[in-house]
């Protein structure tokens, strides 16, 4: 599994873990992200059960797993959070932030973990590190799932967008960052047309993001949009008609 530090300041870092050539066949490729702030970890959409061993091994290269204090699930999909019971076994005191809408559904992955849940209201909320660093949870409802959030780190200017911006890449050698936007469209257009059900919700999310300073937009699948690629993605996504996979 590829590990890359994509942001770093004096005491605050972002890592991506991706492009795992050893993942089981028939398992969709996912990106796992980890923020480390003064030695405290926050894991975003930590993945499915089938890749847990790979992810925990990769995470342990940059932080003791016991120092991961927080998990964030943007929505309920199994590739996002079905590894929950394995993580709570290692981190029994960690907080698990998740949409309130999916609390009873995610409990199916690990009923014992409910005591660790922190449900996020529709309007969003924040996560605070022990050092005072604040992470914002931005509503993204119906931009894939009816209860869904993006995670924004204002000091790092990093946005974890979940399935928004995702692409189904042709191979495991694809760059961590989008390099040729026009080519990249072919890997994400069908996904967005099918999995994003509402143009109104899509455009509401875009308007929210345009109010933020975003240096990198980091999806759960595919490659990261960095610098000018962020604007190119937002412009493309705004013009795209979604929710149109209806048989004629």
Low-confidence ranges of the chain (pLDDT < 70): 245-248
Is residue 217 assigned to a domain?
yes
Is residue 114 assigned to a domain?
yes
Is residue 248 assigned to a domain?
no
Is residue 245 assigned to a domain?
no
Question: What is residue 22's predicted lDDT score, i.e. its pLDDT?
Answer: 83
Is residue 40 assigned to a domain?
yes
What would the two tokens of residue 16 be? 């991506």
Q: Say which CATH number the domain at 148 has.
A: 3.60.15.10
Is residue 170 assigned to a domain?
yes
Cβ–Cβ under 8 Å, residues 143 and 161: no
Domain interval for residue 193? 2-239
Strands (E) across the chain are located at: 2-8, 12-18, 32-37, 40-44, 68-72, 95-99, 117-120, 125-128, 134-139, 149-153, 158-162, 216-219, 225-226
Question: What is residue 114's predicted lDDT score, i.e. its pLDDT?
Answer: 97
Is residue 244 assigned to a domain?
no
- Number of domains the chain is built from: 1
Question: The whole model's pTM is what?
Answer: 0.96
Is residue 182 assigned to a domain?
yes
């Amino acid at each position: 599994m590829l590990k890359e530090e994509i942001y770093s300041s004096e005491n605050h870092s972002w890592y991506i873990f991706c492009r795992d050539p050893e993942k089981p066949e028939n398992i969709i490729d996912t990106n796992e992200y980890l923020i480390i702030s003064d030695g405290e970890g926050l894991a975003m959409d930590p993945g499915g059960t089938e890749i847990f061993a790979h992810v925990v091994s990769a995470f342990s290269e940059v932080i003791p797993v016991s120092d991961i204090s927080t998990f964030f699930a943007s929505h309920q999909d199994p590739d996002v959070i079905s590894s929950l019971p394995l993580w709570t076994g290692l981190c029994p005191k960690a907080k698990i932030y998740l949409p309130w809408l999916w609390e009873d559904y995610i409990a199916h992955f690990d009923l014992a973990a409910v005591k660790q849940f922190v449900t996020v209201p529709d309007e969003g909320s924040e996560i605070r590190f022990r050092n005072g660093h604040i992470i914002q949870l931005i509503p993204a409802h119906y931009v894939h799932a009816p209860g869904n959030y993006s995670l924004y780190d204002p000091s790092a200017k990093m946005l974890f967008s979940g399935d928004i911006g995702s692409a189904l890449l042709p191979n495991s050698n694809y760059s961590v960052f989008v390099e040729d936007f026009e080519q990249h469209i072919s890997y994400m257009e069908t996904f967005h047309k099918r999995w994003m059900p509402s143009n109104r919700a899509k455009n509401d999310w875009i308007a929210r993001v345009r109010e933020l300073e975003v240096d990198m937009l980091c999806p759960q699948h595919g490659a990261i949009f960095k610098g000018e690629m962020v604007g190119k993605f937002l412009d493309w996504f705004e013009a795209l008609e979604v929710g149109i996979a209806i048989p004629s």
